[in-house]
C-alpha cells in the first residue's frame, strides 16, 4: 500500500511540474492553443441587413466644368448635400453626397458619398440614376419629386474596411421643407 501511495505522489508531482512549466509547447513543436495545426485565424465575412434613414440639406448647387458643363451642355451642375440620420450597423451618422446632375433631364451621379459613424469610422457609398417629377402611390402626398435607384457600398475605414454590399434608394424632395429625404434598404457585408 505504501508503494502505491508513493507512486501516486510521484505521478501527482510530475503532473504539477508539467502544469506549472512556462513552456508554450505541449508535446513536441506544437504550440499551445494550436495543436490541430489549423493555421492562423482567417477573417470571416458577415452579411447583415442595411437600413439608413437620412435628411439632407442642399449646401451647394453650381454650374461645374468638371461635370461636363459646356455651350452644348449648359445644364450640368455640381450638387452637394450634407446629411444626418441613423443606420443599422452605423448608429447616428453624418456625411455628404457630392454629384453631377443635368438639371433639365434629372440624370445624376455617380455620387461620391460617405457616411461617418459617431466613432469616426467611414463607409463609402455611391449611387446614380434619375430624379423624376411627381410621386408614386406609396409616397406621402407632399412628395414633389423622387428617385429610386441602386446604391453600392465600396469599403470604408475602421470596422467598415473591406465592406461591400448594396440595395435600393427611396429618396424624395417635398413641398413641406427644403430638405432631401433618403431611405435606403439593402445588405452590407463586413469583414470580421
Tens of pLDDT, residue by residue over 88-142, are 989 999 999 999 999 999 999 999 999 999 999 999 999 999 999 999 999 999 9
pLDDT, position 108: 95
For residues 172 and 146, give the distance between their C-alpha atoms in angstroms, rounded to a whole number.
4
Sequence-ordered alpha helix ranges (H) in the chain: 2-19
pTM over the 0.85 mark: no
Supply the DSSP string of 53-90, one letter for each residue: EEEEEEEEEEE-GGGT--SS-TTEEEEEEEEEEEETTT
Q: Is the peptide bond before 121 cis (omega within 30 degrees of 0)?
A: no
For residues 22 and 38, give the distance between their C-alpha atoms in angstroms, rounded to a whole number.
23
Residue with cell 510521484: 10
pLDDT, position 33: 54
Residues (pLDDT < 70) of the chain are: 1-2, 4-5, 7-10, 12-40
Q: Which CATH number fits domain 45-191: 2.60.40, 3.90.1570, 2.60.120, 2.40.160?
A: 2.40.160
pLDDT, position 24: 54
Residue with cell 504550440: 31
Amino acid at each position: 500500500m505504501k508503494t502505491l501511495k508513493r507512486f501516486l505522489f510521484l505521478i501527482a508531482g510530475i503532473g504539477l511540474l508539467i502544469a506549472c512549466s512556462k513552456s508554450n509547447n505541449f508535446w513536441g513543436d506544437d504550440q499551445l492553443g494550436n495543436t490541430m495545426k489549423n493555421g492562423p485565424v482567417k477573417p470571416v465575412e458577415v452579411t447583415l441587413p442595411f437600413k439608413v434613414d437620412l435628411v439632407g440639406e442642399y449646401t451647394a448647387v453650381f454650374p461645374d466644368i468638371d461635370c461636363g458643363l459646356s455651350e452644348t451642355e449648359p445644364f450640368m451642375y455640381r450638387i452637394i448635400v450634407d446629411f444626418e440620420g441613423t443606420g443599422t450597423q452605423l448608429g447616428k451618422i453624418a456625411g455628404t453626397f457630392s454629384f453631377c446632375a443635368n438639371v433639365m433631364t434629372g440624370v445624376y451621379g455617380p455620387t461620391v458619398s460617405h457616411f461617418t459613424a459617431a466613432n469616426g469610422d467611414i463607409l463609402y457609398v455611391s449611387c446614380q440614376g434619375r430624379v423624376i417629377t411627381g410621386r408614386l402611390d406609396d409616397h406621402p402626398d407632399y412628395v414633389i419629386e423622387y428617385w429610386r435607384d441602386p446604391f453600392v457600398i465600396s469599403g470604408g475605414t475602421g470596422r467598415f474596411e473591406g465592406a461591400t454590399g448594396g440595395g435600393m434608394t427611396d429618396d424624395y424632395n417635398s413641398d413641406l421643407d427644403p430638405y432631401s429625404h433618403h431611405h435606403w434598404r439593402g445588405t452590407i457585408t463586413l469583414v470580421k
